[in-house]
Amino acid sequence: MKRRDFLIATLGFAASGTLQARSLPAVAFVPNKRLGIDNHHWRVIDTAMQHLFPAETQAPGAKDVHATAWLHNALLMPDVDETHRKFMRSGAHQLEEISQALFDKPFPALSTAEREKALRSMEETADGKAWIQETLRYILEAMLSDPVYGGNPEGIGWKWLQHRPGFPRPPKNKRYFLL
């Protein structure tokens, strides 16, 4: 099953079509020290997200939907408990440890095949599998969220799925966490 068909079936969209290939601006974010994730481990997370959900010719990937920035901002939300932050942090550390044990290299420096092997190794543990699933959930959130929240720039995920958002969409000063 193609990724797009899977998402349409999973998410209940009844659309079909293609996304026009284009480049989107990269999102730069300054990691918040409160999360306890250093720059290297953000690169581990970013690399894992891009590996788990790569861009295709007619489909956006994790990088295109700003999934790493989305995760960063989501973990800063006041309703996210420290246990969940710790879980996401420890998963990045676990993936790096696996990479070092298997290949004696940092995860971002691995080849595609080596990354796949490291992630498959991580998937063999309950916590590792849960971390991968949670990471994929954040990618999908970034793809399907309203762009006002920082993911899905210019509605790229919506366009790919030919989804029309409900109206009215929230203005920046009326985002749910500000109310």
Q: Which helix (H) or strand (E) holds 82?
A: helix 82-103
Is the residue at 121 inside a domain?
yes
Phi then psi dihedrals of residue 46, to 5 deg: -60, -45
- pLDDT number for residue 82: 93
Rounded Cα distance, 2 and 5, in Å: 5
Cα 176 to Cα 148, 149, 171, distances in angstroms: 11, 9, 10
Low-confidence ranges of the chain (pLDDT < 70): 1-30, 179
- pLDDT number for residue 26: 47
Is the residue at 88 inside a domain?
yes
Smallest Cα–Cα separation from 18: which of 57, 64, 69?
A: 57
Residue with tokens 């989501």: 74
Is the residue at 32 inside a domain?
no
Is the residue at 148 inside a domain?
yes
- pLDDT number for residue 171: 84
Is the residue at 30 inside a domain?
no
Rounded Cα distance, 101 and 122, in Å: 12
- pLDDT number for residue 29: 58
Is the residue at 13 inside a domain?
no
- pLDDT number for residue 160: 93
The boundaries of the domain holding residue 119 are 38-53+60-178
* Domain count along the chain: 1
